[in-house]
Amino acid sequence: SQTIHQWPATLVQPVGSPLSLECTVEGTSNPNLYWYRQAAGRGLQLLFYSVGIGQISSEVPQNLSASRPQDRQFILSSKKLLLSDSGFYLCAWSVHPIEDTEAFFGQGTRLTVV
């Protein structure tokens, strides 16, 4: 069966520090991968998605970047965190584009920038 792992679960980072959140999927090949952010009082916001190794699409301009170095690995990064980067980050995968099919989410990372 397929599983998705996301870590760390919580993270407290000072402003200006770098960030690296990792997501891996097991039990499937060539998944579509997504990074979402969920802010308090707001719906999930799509940040990045990837349909293959090295292929990254960004939905909104921001202080973050994403990379897909391996088929089932998706990384969210920042060189210098801002206070506004605080939030709940979710990784997700789907067999086909997420708009068309079932999506499976990781457990999330609660990031607090102080």
Partner 1 sequence: KNQVEQSPQSLIILEGKNCTLQCNYTVSPFSNLRWYKQDTGRGPVSLTIMTFSENTKSNGRYTATLDADTKQSSLHITASQLSDSASYICVVSAFAGNNRKLIWGLGTSLAVNP
Binding residues vs partner 1 (CB under 8 A)? 6, 41-44, 46, 88, 90, 92, 97-108, 110
Residue nearer to partner 1 on the CB measure, 13 or 45: 45
Minimum Å gap between C-beta 11 and partner 1 is: 13
SS3 labels along the chain: CCEEEEECCEEEECCCCCEEEEEEEECCCCCEEEEEEECCCCCCEEEEEEEECCEEEECCCCCCEEEEEECCEEEEEECCCCHHHCEEEEEEEECCCCCCCCCEECCCEEEEEC
Nearer to partner 1, 67 or 88 (CB): 88
For the bound state, the minimum distance from the C-beta of residue 15 to partner 1, rounded and expressed in Å, comes to 23
Nearer to partner 1 by C-beta: 23 or 113?
23
**Least distance CB 108 / partner 1 (angstroms):** 5
